[in-house]
Amino acid sequence: MNRVMILGSAGSGKSTLSRKLSSILDLPVIHLDKYYWKPNWVPTPAEEWDRVVEELTMTEQWIIDGNYSRTLDLRISRADVVIYLDMPRWLCMYRIVKRRVMYHRKSRPDMNEGCPEKLDVEFIKWVWNYRTRSRTKTIEKLERSKNQTEIIIARNRKEVNELLKRLANNQARSGTNESEQIT
């Protein structure tokens, strides 16, 4: 396992899982938000973004977290494993509020400098509507890719913890990058 992609709603735990996997697998983490958002929450133009993602995915080892549907197919095609955090809506909502409090007037470690944590009505609606807006399309893309890429779906914190434990045990036993699938 050299290239791991992590998807899920805002607040699903993508960045936290990325950091934990990095320490287990000894792979570098790429938080897409850090590359996409320029200071003051200015988005990267589409063509530039496509080039950035292509360059990031061409390296041999990474853990990439973030959704960005525009480049989803490219990242899936390069990934060895895709982990989809299909977390309950209430958990994602709780986590976005929690991180707003934790990072008041500061940028999160997985964000670009100059992008202080914010929580506005638009973002709350975006997170609330993730399941109806994006989930089905993401699941369909993953289903189409399952013969080329290992797909792991974690639906709650217990499954995420089991995955981390399993990977840590595999690393301790073999020292190689192996995983087992959770469905």
Return d(Cα 62, Cα 25) in angstroms, integer.
Answer: 10
Q: Is the dihedral of CA 59, 21, 173, 145 positive or negative?
A: negative
Task: Return the pLDDT at 2.
Answer: 95
What is the pLDDT, as a whole number, of residue 115? Answer: 94
What local confidence, expressed as pLDDT, does residue 178 receive?
Answer: 44
Higher pLDDT, 44 or 106: 44
Mean pLDDT, the chain, whole residue set: 93
Residue 11's CB is within 10 A of a number of other CB atoms, namely 21
Q: What is the pLDDT of residue 9?
A: 97
pTM, 2 dp: 0.91
pLDDT of residue 181: 44
Provide the pLDDT for residue 3: 98
Q: Long-range CB contacts (< 8 A, 24+ apart) of 131-140?
A: 131/9, 131/89, 134/9, 134/67, 134/69, 135/9, 135/86, 137/69, 138/7, 138/67, 138/69, 138/72, 138/84, 139/84
- The share of the chain scoring above pLDDT 70, in percent, equals 95
In this structure, whether the domain defined by 3-174 belongs to CATH 3.40.50.300 is answered with yes
* Residue 128 pLDDT > 90: yes
